[in-house]
Each structure stands twice: as C-alpha cells, then as structure tokens.
A and B are shown apart, each in its own frame.
Chain A
Amino acid sequence: MSDQAEFEIIIVEDDPNDAELITRILRKHNLANKLVLLKDGADALDFLFGQGNFADKYDDGPKVILLDLKLPKVNGIEVLRKIKSDERTKKIPVVILTSSREDCDLKDAYDLGVNSYVTKPIKFDEFAKVVADLGMYWLLLNKSLTK
C-alpha cells in the first residue's frame, strides 16, 4: 500500500544462529534480496498487519513466510492461527520450519491450514539443502495469489 520495498520472503526465527544461517544460504542462491527477518511472534503479527512497530510498513504480503514454532511472546502456532483466520493474510503461504517432530505440533499446524511443514535437519549440509530447496520452490516455482 506504500512505496515500501516489497518483501518476498519473511522469516520468523528467534535463534540468531539459525536466522543468520538461513539468510546466508538464501543469499548464496540469490534468493535473499527481498527478505525480512523477524525475531518473535509478536513482531511477525505486527509486521503482517501493519501495526505496532511496523505501523507504517504495511506490505501486500510476501510469497512465503518461513515460521519457526518455538517463538518468544507469541508462539508459531498462534501466529499461524492469526494469519489463517484473517482475510488479509490467509492466502499467504506459510511454511513451518522447526526442530519439532511432535505429532501434536504437526496436527495443530495442518488443522490451521499450514501450506507445508518441514523439520530442520540436524546436519548443516542437509539443513542448507532444505533451506535452498524451500527458497527455490516457494520464490521461483510456486505461483502464489499474493504476488
């Protein structure tokens, strides 16, 4: 709605190491030009709904949101619920990227209409491949309604 830079990919990740590694991997594949990094669930919601700290930074919506589950303030499942229950945001693809393999997390996420659920591989080389694949698929291959 403004002349703001358009964001293609939003990453919600509280672990600064994982956040930096994800950014680095995407950058190496030229997928990080329009990337925004948010460190907790509250920031994610403020950013998406153009409120609080991000009142003047409203954006039409990215091509994909990579969402961690274990987040401070507002957890990932809650963020997902808000995104999927609001007309303005419910069409944005959301990919859960988490260490959790718990069945209840999986079930909650799919119940709320998550678009994909990916667990972070333990080994860095596998992790790097997963992040690169996700970036290429959602930013280049997938056709989204939002942009």
Chain B
Amino acid sequence: MGSTAMTEHGQTLTESGNLRERLEASEKTQRAMMNILDDFDEERRNFQLIQKATLNLLEDVDAERQNSNEAQRALLNMLEDIEAERFKAEQANALLESANKELEAFSYSVSHDLRAPLRAISGFSQAVMEDYAPRLDDEGRRYLGLIQENAHRMGRLIDDLLAFSRLGRQQMIKSTIDMETMTKSVFEELAAQEPGRKIKIKFTAHASPPVYGDSSMIRQVLVNLLSNAIKFTRPRENAQIEFGYLPKLGDGAYYIKDNGVGFDMRYLNKLFGVFQRLHSVAEFEGTGVGLALVNRIIARHGGRVWAEGIVDQGATFYFTLPGSR
C-alpha cells in the first residue's frame, strides 16, 4: 500500500514535480516569448521609425518630384509658347511665300498672255506691209511703221517684265566676284555698241573688295547701271563714268558716277519703281524697269541701293553688297 502510496505519492510527486517543472518551463517559455515579443516590439518601433523616416523621405522626394514636375511643366509651357511662336512665324512665312508665288505666277502668266496678241499685231502688220505696201500711200505706210514700232516697244516691255518676274523665282548661285573686273568687261561690251561716242571710264584708286553673290544677277546690275550712265551722257561730248568703292560710306559702298543729264532729287522716290520714268521716250528710250531690277537684285542679296543727282551735272548710284567688307 505504502509502496502503492509511495508509488502513488511518488507518482504524484513525480507528477506534481513534473507539473511544476512544466509550469516553470512554460513560464520560461512565456517569458522568453514575452522577451521576444518585447524585442519584437522594439523592432517594430524601430521599424515604424524607419517607416516614418522612409515616409518622410518619400514625402521629400515627392515634394522634390512635384518641384521638378512644376519646373518641367514650366519648361513645357515655354516650349509650347516657342512652338506656337514658331508655328505663327511659319504660317506667316508660308502665307508670304504663297502670296509671293501667286504674284510671280500672276505676272508670269500676264506677261505670257500678253505675248499672243502682240505677235498677232506684229505678224499681221508685217503681212500688210509685205502684201499691200504698193497699194498704200506714204502716210499709210508710215502708220503701219508706227504700229510695228510700238509692237516692238511693247515686246521689250514684256521682256523686261518677264525678267523682273523671273528674278523673284530664280535660285541664286553664289560665288566670289571681283567687281572691278566685271565692271570693266560689262563697260567694254556696252561701249562697243556706241562706236561714234567718246566714253571714258575711270576706276578709283581704292581697291574694291570682292562681292559674294549671284554673278549673272550682279552682272545685270552692272549692265543696267552702266547702260544708264552711257545713255544719259549722250548729250555730252566727253562722257565720263567712274566706278569706285567708298570704304567709309556706311558699311562700305560701291558707286557708279556719270557726268550726264542727272535728275531732280525731288523725284528720287520714283527712281527705283517699276515702269517709272523721269524722261520721255523721245528724250531717252527705256521701259522703266532697269532700276527696279537693280533694286530687286541688290535687295535679294541683302544690300541697299540709293542715288544722288543734280540736273545737268550727273548722277551717282551707290550700292552695298554682302562680302563687300
């Protein structure tokens, strides 16, 4: 019994001992767990701190991003403005270009359509001359001559107008041009057509710088200015023409001077207009396109042309051209 009791006791003891042990163990475990939990809590707190810091950081980054976004937006707005400006400029340019093209096409087709009736006038008046001249009296033949003469004049006008219209469309092929050499060759060519006259050209001492431009257009400028000089010195026994360069006049300017009939400075504004003339056809022939052409060529090269004149003493035409400095 005792033994049983013992045993039982022992057992019980053992049992209770086990229980205590287990309790303790459990407590230990619990404590450890609590500790772990505590630690964990700390960790969590740390974690929360880190999270908060991260959030702060993120917030800062966000703020930064917002700033950068705003900057970007401002930049984009600016770009848009620039784009809009450019678009406007392009539109204006396109409009100008199309207006220009339209004008060119118009003057070209006008010049073209003027040709046909003119050809008919010359053609049929010549037919009358060929087939019926013997049946006309002197006055009749004179009238017919006048018709032909005027048809020719009209033809020259159309030619000049065509040249003027073509000038706007023509592509410029630029090269370096020695102005003195070109002037000399143009002058010799033109003077050769006036064998009965005494015409001298003088080149001033200043070396003239070369021009960078379209050589056929610049040549046209020289042809028109020099043939004017030759034409308007016709009443002079000794025609004097001078070509030179004035480095100190503005950015440097070329000039062609003559001792011809000159012009009244009051009509200066008419000098470079198309079909504007300061002399009657009976005095000096011409269509009134020459100086307009000069003006247009110089302007297309980014230069300027102007003139000075004194009645009965002569005229001077000045012009600037790129590369002339």
Say if A and B assemble together: yes
- Shortest beta-carbon distance from A96 to chain B in Å: 15
Q: Which residues of A contact B119 (CB under 8 A)?
A: 17-18, 21, 120, 122-124, 127
Contact assessment for A124 and B115 in the assembled complex, using a CB-CB cutoff below 8 Å: no
Interface residues as binary, A120-131 with B (CB distance below 8 Å gives 1, 0 otherwise): 101111011000
Contact assessment for B127 and A24 in the assembled complex, using a CB-CB cutoff below 8 Å: yes
Q: Which residues of B contact A18 (CB under 8 A)?
A: 116, 119-120
The reply on B301 being an interface residue by CB < 8 A is: no
Interface residues of B in 150-192 (CB under 8 A from A): 151-152, 155, 158-159
Q: Which residues of B contact A125 (CB under 8 A)?
A: 122, 126
The reply on A51 being an interface residue by CB < 8 A is: no
The reply on A99 being an interface residue by CB < 8 A is: yes
Interface residues as binary, A1-31 with B (CB distance below 8 Å gives 1, 0 otherwise): 0000000000000010110010010000000
Interface residues as binary, B112-150 with A (CB distance below 8 Å gives 1, 0 otherwise): 100111111011101100000000000000000000000
Contact assessment for B115 and A128 in the assembled complex, using a CB-CB cutoff below 8 Å: no
Secondary structure type dominating chain A contacts: helix
Contact assessment for A123 and B116 in the assembled complex, using a CB-CB cutoff below 8 Å: no
Contact assessment for B122 and A123 in the assembled complex, using a CB-CB cutoff below 8 Å: yes
Contact assessment for B115 and A122 in the assembled complex, using a CB-CB cutoff below 8 Å: yes
Contact assessment for A17 and B120 in the assembled complex, using a CB-CB cutoff below 8 Å: yes
Contact assessment for A21 and B123 in the assembled complex, using a CB-CB cutoff below 8 Å: yes
- Shortest beta-carbon distance from B108 to chain A in Å: 9
Contact assessment for B116 and A15 in the assembled complex, using a CB-CB cutoff below 8 Å: yes
Q: Which of B117, B126, B159 contacts A17 (CB 8 A)?
A: B117
Instruction: Please report A residues at the B interface, Cβ cutoff 8 Å.
Output: 15, 17-18, 21, 24, 99-100, 120, 122-125, 127-128
